[in-house]
Each structure stands twice: as structure tokens, then as C-alpha cells.
Amino acid sequence: MSLDAKLATLANTIPECVAAGYVDIASGMLLSVKTVDSHPQEVIALVAAATADLFAGPNISTIEMLFKKARGLPDSDHHYFQEIVVNSDNLIHVFLRGRRYPDYVAVWVCRKSANLGMALVKARLAMPELESAV
């Protein structure tokens, strides 16, 4: 199954999911997107850049480096930030870094009325299957 088809199928398993995306944060590219509404192309294009900033922006990279240094750990490719949840006025945005492919991040956007815990659990459960489509 293609990445686009897998993302669309998995989005249907996330409670009240209205959009889903898969981002390569190393390149800043949006590899796949599925939405139930039409959105301006400029907004969709910014999703990838914003996701890359959340997980690999200069401040985040500095924080991770400082954590490693404070703990006496060698500099490595390990990342501390694995999941980020953002609540906006009307939506819940769940960002999950891939375990198999840590430079890829899934973005799940749900209506605010969704149960946050269930959305997070379902998003986590979807990750291995999404990564298998890459």
C-alpha cells in the first residue's frame, strides 16, 4: 500500500481526525497529506517547515545537546523530543517522531472535541504501520 493510501486509512482510526501528514524533518518536505477540508496550499506547505522547527530547530537542537552534556552522554543522533501535542482554539495537533525513521514525523490533527488520551493512543498505535509504508 502506498504511503498516501496508508496515511488515509490510518487517519480514519484516529478519533475525529481531520488531517494527517508525514514529514521528513531533515529535508523539510511534506511526504504525504490527507485532509477532510480544503486548505490553502501555503498553509499545507508551512506544516512541514513548522514540524521541522518543532523537532529539529536550532533551539531544540541546543536543548538536546545541553541535556546530553549535563548527563555526561556522548554526542549522538538520539533525540529527547519524541512527541509533541499542541492544543489550538479548535484542534488538537499530535506530532510523533518515528522510531524506525527518526527523521520522519507524523502529524495528526483532530477536532478539539476528541478525547485527547484516545487520540494519542491511536496515533501511537498507527506509527509502526505508517512506518512500514515508507
pLDDT digits (tens, 9 = 90+) for 111-125: 999 999 999 999 999
Q: Name the pTM for this structure.
A: 0.91
Q: Supply the range of the domain harboring residue 42.
A: 3-132
Q: What is the mean pLDDT of residues 74-88?
A: 88
Q: Quick one: which of 75, 57, 77 has its CA closest to 66?
A: 75
Range 27-39 burial, b when 16+ CB lie within 10 A, else e: eeebebbbeeeee
Radius of gyration of the chain (CA): 15
Q: Residue 96: its pLDDT value, please? A: 98
CATH code for position 70:
3.30.450.30
Domain count along the chain: 1
As a whole number, the mean pLDDT across the chain is 92
Q: What is the mean pLDDT of residues 124-133?
A: 96
